[in-house]
A and B are shown apart, each in its own frame.
Chain A
């Protein structure tokens, strides 16, 4: 292996186009040919083959249990593990087959590196992206990072070290993302919130009480039992291919399989009905369905009375539910804001508490038989409708409020908004409420009105009783809170003193003003752990030109030399998830997995925990050092050896032996006892005290968010200011060829998907004088991108689509990510990537 300092040229568009350049490209990063990368130990190994049970750790949440074949120390083959508790979950995808490519990927980071002109004293941020790289030893690198963290902590406080953790190195129970969160909390640094995909979770969480946790739907095997399946804002065959066969099984059993999507996807092709909809208007469709269900009395009265907030009385004066304690000494209750806690992993830990009957005894309902108020637990026949007066306070049932509120959402109104015919909307409402059980398989509604989408889905489920039952659930992903103790390594210093994360979308203002929530807030360091903010986050040009230059030190752990690595000061090579032992918990499968190491790490790559252990040695934080003094196995045992895991046979030793253990039933039903983690234990389609996802010190209009209320996207609607200039709706499609910004450099995938493109309906292209095969420039005020055009009749006229995840340098110029909208919505604080308008013109420049 070459000892010389390894200059990194990065990668060029050419390297994507010509996949056979892959091996040559390796030299650019490693200073040596790919052959030199094999660790010496392999030479001694016999040529015999062995098989290793491992797990794909990329964050599509498919969590495929795989069997890798290793020959002479190299991974040579892979297949789906057929030896799993429930065979229906046997799975692998085409990306899974590319892991050998990824392991020996020419874009792997091989050594710790430092940007030549960077130093703590004089960081020369202006040289980022163009500087030479110097190779460091691990000791030098750990010392440099440790001392910088230490220096910042002493001089600017621990929160001046901002740590951005994402799932680029697996969304694990031990390892990857968990390791990064543990690192933040071991030292008390400032965690950054990624602002990705939380929008509709907020809306659903407000109703179900699940916070903005991802886990809402039943286990995917349960979709088989649905009689109506609404695939909404999602194309599972591409983004979650392993779940699709469950949907098709439902269809074969006679279910309505409906796809609601502006684009004609393969899911739409295989559905029993495709509902093309005007982009961004989906909440209006859902609201009109709610209204149609109410008007036609297709709701489930028993469910409404027993399982939802329908009979609860809402005070006219403060908008809260009436509680008997309101009239006692304490006065009206001080309510926590929904949806709760300022970091994702606390949603599962804290939001999952379902109240007992005693805890909900204070709620007051109107006894329809007695014509008087009574306690929720005492009244057998509470009134669902009506306005009453209790102790001089005017109150109305939540159900009446909803009915009155939704009355405006007529079919005609929705038809005008969504361009879906009124009778189609009516038919959808009928199917969903009458051909039950019904499941809403939601994707991410990446528009500014996403929280309304989530609330509407949850309201639909609440009024029809399509939740917590066999074949009936809503929202995203699946099972929550596996029977393990993740908190043990997520929060090494305990939960006390944990602070909310700082949303990435709020960061520009913090950097600009030096203030956060009214206090001085210097940001001295950004540490990206499996995160690629340059590649993955909206408004890329702003990230590169305005955000990063205001931060004097940027450190990145990654296995690939991502765009973010290019703009970093210190880059630390991280293992691929086949290069170390870790534990995977899963949302999409009813399993827990031991991800066994398949091959030795490439170059000098280390797993994240080992990197943090090295760094900890160069700090003065004794508690953190004590935490990192634990061996990896000890940490895994903290996670796995628990009381609550015993019924499932979960223990470190058992998992190591079995590889895969079931930790749920095959067709597990979420909230099967139909008690929900809201304050009332009921589905609260009326939100008492709506709150921002994370408290960033900016008030929201609470009155607006009590009930589902339509509002337009931020810019992607016909009446918006930008629309005259940029008339095309641009969205980022999650293709099967990438997973976020991962798999960009797997040459085997690039053979089939060689370069980025813009999909366009021929009608729009021809109107702009664009021919098939032309290069085009899509642009708006935030930036531009130049790539090939592809004529695609699946794309709704007026829309254009970019495949998500392509590396910036794969474009002739710019990047799709320059176009995307980084608007900060104060409530959901989510990146509304698809809430983006562009114009497209033929590119006349040179294409290299």
Chain B
């Protein structure tokens, strides 16, 4: 059990902390590499999943994206949903790690480097999701040759690339700082830049959607700060869950006080996120005009499961984090996972919701197999439930990309000096 947890515990919500001591013993003394058989198996499994994902991706490219459920009226799907989600996840690590350093305040124990590395893994996944979504990935080079600097997607690519590089630099700087090769001032400068970049990356990702006048659901100035807050929610939650898992696996030690601090922070972020959500819903609903469609769709329409899912999960996370007596390890883990899932629900709402509201809905067009998912049941049928639901190949490719992120993370855990210094523990 614990061995397996070493591998996939990062996103596992029912790992068993009781098994931790044993694992900690198994970890043995600090070494260049860390981890036992469990980690190796985890690496193997995630490598296989990644490979399967790549095979499926090649199939998708050769057989055509017609194999996905995406169509002309719902032209983005699971990949872009997961892109948004992973960009968000990537935030937490870097912000958690850099905020204390940037502002010179007390941090969250020795999780800084692992947190940054989780950011790197998530950023790679986010980029991976953009790549698997492309129809012509071999033309990726054009992004640099014919860059249209006016396109938010171009901004995002630039910022995301910068972010990835910065994260690596920041991680390297931390390691070097530990060795005394980089000054704390320099580290602090890097951490400020990294922080700015992290905020930017979420804002820009939000602008991919928020700057589009074409989609009622997306076109709001709130989207950028909201993306930042959502990123903080799921990022913090991921760091919390991951560090608990790593602590359980004996990879690092973590004061419960740090965890509680993280939990409190998470609660604040969740509340801010909900506040933004409330602002947005009110702004949409109050004029009782076009925006009402958005509210109806979320509250009682096809996206209601994801809307209420998000609300309930957020509330659960906030309550656990805010009520001292509930801050037990298992419940904190639940809170973390709930917060992550809540943001995933948000991402689904945002993506599908953008397409669910058809700007030309007053007009009924001819439907062909290329028009919309579920075209056979007519326009009403196609939009009755969610206009889009992923096809099997998308789940497969998606798992592959996640597998890649896990693989990178586990490889880092195994081979990189990410464990906290003794004095940090």
Residues of A within 8 A of B378 (CB): 772-773
B383 to chain A, nearest CB (A): 12
Task: Give CA–CA (A365, B111) in the complex, Å.
Answer: 118
Residues of A within 8 A of B377 (CB): 773
Interface residue from B366, B368, B380 paired with A773 (Cβ < 8 Å): B380
Query: Is B359 located at the chain interface by the 8 A CB criterion?
Result: no
Query: Is A672 located at the chain interface by the 8 A CB criterion?
Result: no
Residues of B within 8 A of A773 (CB): 377-378, 380-381
Q: Mark B356-371, 1 if CB is under 8 A from A, else 0.
A: 0000000000101000
Name B368's closest neighbour in chain A (CB-CB). Answer: A751
Task: Give CA–CA (A751, B377) in the complex, Å.
Answer: 15
Task: Give CA–CA (A61, B223) in the complex, Å.
Answer: 59
Task: Give CA–CA (A822, B381) in the complex, Å.
Answer: 38
A94 to chain B, nearest CB (A): 12
B366 touches A772 (CB 8 A): no
Query: Is A44 located at the chain interface by the 8 A CB criterion?
Result: no
B95 to chain A, nearest CB (A): 48
Residues of B within 8 A of A752 (CB): 366
Q: Mark A724-764, 1 if CB is under 8 A from B, else 0.
A: 00000000000000000000000000011000000000000
Residues of B within 8 A of A772 (CB): 378, 380-381
Task: Give CA–CA (A751, B367) in the complex, Å.
Answer: 8
Task: Give CA–CA (A751, B371) in the complex, Å.
Answer: 11
Name A18's closest neighbour in chain B (CB-CB). Answer: B369
Task: Give CA–CA (A314, B368) in the complex, Å.
Answer: 64
Residues of A within 8 A of B366 (CB): 751-752
Name B379's closest neighbour in chain A (CB-CB). Answer: A772
Task: Give CA–CA (A527, B399) in the complex, Å.
Answer: 64
A13 to chain B, nearest CB (A): 13
Residues of B within 8 A of A751 (CB): 366, 368
Task: Give CA–CA (A772, B384) in the complex, Å.
Answer: 11
Q: Which of A765-803 contact B (CB under 8 A)?
A: 772-773
B141 to chain A, nearest CB (A): 34
Task: Give CA–CA (A752, B368) in the complex, Å.
Answer: 7
Count A/B pairs, Cβ under 8 Å. Answer: 10
Residues of A within 8 A of B381 (CB): 772-773
B363 to chain A, nearest CB (A): 15
Q: Which of B309-345 contact A (CB under 8 A)?
A: none
Interface residue total, chain B, C-beta cutoff 8 A: 6
Task: Give CA–CA (A773, B380) in the complex, Å.
Answer: 9
Name B378's closest neighbour in chain A (CB-CB). Answer: A773
Residues of A within 8 A of B380 (CB): 772-773
Q: Which of B89-146 contact A (CB under 8 A)?
A: none
Q: Mark B370-399, 1 if CB is under 8 A from A, else 0.
A: 000000011011000000000000000000
Task: Give CA–CA (A119, B260) in the complex, Å.
Answer: 94
Task: Give CA–CA (A89, B340) in the complex, Å.
Answer: 67
Task: Give CA–CA (A772, B364) in the complex, Å.
Answer: 15
Name A753's closest neighbour in chain B (CB-CB). Answer: B366
Task: Give CA–CA (A773, B383) in the complex, Å.
Answer: 13
Name A20's closest neighbour in chain B (CB-CB). Answer: B369
Task: Give CA–CA (A751, B370) in the complex, Å.
Answer: 11
Task: Give CA–CA (A19, B417) in the complex, Å.
Answer: 60
Name B367's closest neighbour in chain A (CB-CB). Answer: A754
Task: Give CA–CA (A751, B378) in the complex, Å.
Answer: 13
B162 to chain A, nearest CB (A): 45
Task: Give CA–CA (A842, B166) in the complex, Å.
Answer: 63
Name B366's closest neighbour in chain A (CB-CB). Answer: A752
A794 to chain B, nearest CB (A): 13
A790 to chain B, nearest CB (A): 8
Q: Which of A73-116 contact B (CB under 8 A)?
A: none
Task: Give CA–CA (A752, B378) in the complex, Å.
Answer: 12
Task: Give CA–CA (A605, B381) in the complex, Å.
Answer: 44
B278 to chain A, nearest CB (A): 36
Residues of A within 8 A of B368 (CB): 751
Q: Mark B162-194, 1 if CB is under 8 A from A, else 0.
A: 000000000000000000000000000000000
A192 to chain B, nearest CB (A): 39
Q: Which of A465-484 contact B (CB under 8 A)?
A: none
Task: Give CA–CA (A575, B381) in the complex, Å.
Answer: 42
Task: Give CA–CA (A655, B255) in the complex, Å.
Answer: 100
Task: Give CA–CA (A740, B117) in the complex, Å.
Answer: 70
A502 to chain B, nearest CB (A): 43
B120 to chain A, nearest CB (A): 45
A385 to chain B, nearest CB (A): 57
Task: Give CA–CA (A528, B296) in the complex, Å.
Answer: 60
Task: Give CA–CA (A807, B368) in the complex, Å.
Answer: 21
A553 to chain B, nearest CB (A): 43
Task: Give CA–CA (A830, B355) in the complex, Å.
Answer: 52
Task: Give CA–CA (A805, B368) in the complex, Å.
Answer: 21
Task: Give CA–CA (A751, B366) in the complex, Å.
Answer: 8
B416 to chain A, nearest CB (A): 52
Name A755's closest neighbour in chain B (CB-CB). Answer: B376
Name A17's closest neighbour in chain B (CB-CB). Answer: B376
Name B365's closest neighbour in chain A (CB-CB). Answer: A752
Task: Give CA–CA (A196, B73) in the complex, Å.
Answer: 44
Task: Give CA–CA (A772, B379) in the complex, Å.
Answer: 11
Task: Give CA–CA (A59, B377) in the complex, Å.
Answer: 34
B378 to chain A, nearest CB (A): 6
Task: Give CA–CA (A727, B100) in the complex, Å.
Answer: 79
Q: Which of A560-613 contact B (CB under 8 A)?
A: none
Task: Give CA–CA (A346, B264) in the complex, Å.
Answer: 97
A319 to chain B, nearest CB (A): 56
Task: Give CA–CA (A772, B378) in the complex, Å.
Answer: 9
Task: Give CA–CA (A752, B377) in the complex, Å.
Answer: 14
A766 to chain B, nearest CB (A): 14
B31 to chain A, nearest CB (A): 60
Task: Give CA–CA (A752, B366) in the complex, Å.
Answer: 6
Name B370's closest neighbour in chain A (CB-CB). Answer: A751
Task: Give CA–CA (A772, B376) in the complex, Å.
Answer: 12
Task: Give CA–CA (A751, B380) in the complex, Å.
Answer: 18
Task: Give CA–CA (A751, B369) in the complex, Å.
Answer: 9
Task: Give CA–CA (A133, B372) in the complex, Å.
Answer: 41
Q: Mark B23-39, 1 if CB is under 8 A from A, else 0.
A: 00000000000000000
B289 to chain A, nearest CB (A): 26
B366 to chain A, nearest CB (A): 5
B282 to chain A, nearest CB (A): 34
Task: Give CA–CA (A773, B378) in the complex, Å.
Answer: 7
A10 to chain B, nearest CB (A): 24
B211 to chain A, nearest CB (A): 35
Task: Give CA–CA (A31, B366) in the complex, Å.
Answer: 33
Task: Give CA–CA (A772, B380) in the complex, Å.
Answer: 8
Q: Mark B249-271, 1 if CB is under 8 A from A, else 0.
A: 00000000000000000000000
Q: Which of A110-140 contact B (CB under 8 A)?
A: none
Q: Mark A445-461, 1 if CB is under 8 A from B, else 0.
A: 00000000000000000
Name A790's closest neighbour in chain B (CB-CB). Answer: B378
Task: Give CA–CA (A752, B365) in the complex, Å.
Answer: 9
Task: Give CA–CA (A203, B411) in the complex, Å.
Answer: 91
Name A788's closest neighbour in chain B (CB-CB). Answer: B378
Task: Give CA–CA (A773, B368) in the complex, Å.
Answer: 16
Task: Give CA–CA (A496, B381) in the complex, Å.
Answer: 64
Task: Give CA–CA (A752, B371) in the complex, Å.
Answer: 11
B230 to chain A, nearest CB (A): 37
B374 to chain A, nearest CB (A): 10
B46 to chain A, nearest CB (A): 39
A516 to chain B, nearest CB (A): 49
Task: Give CA–CA (A76, B170) in the complex, Å.
Answer: 62
Q: A752-B366, A773-B380 are in contact. List 8 more A-B contacts (CB 8 A).
A: A751-B366, A751-B368, A772-B378, A772-B380, A772-B381, A773-B377, A773-B378, A773-B381
- Smallest CB-CB A-B distances: 5 pairs: A752-B366, A773-B377, A773-B381, A751-B368, A772-B380
10 contacts between A and B (CB under 8 A): A751-B366, A751-B368, A752-B366, A772-B378, A772-B380, A772-B381, A773-B377, A773-B378, A773-B380, A773-B381
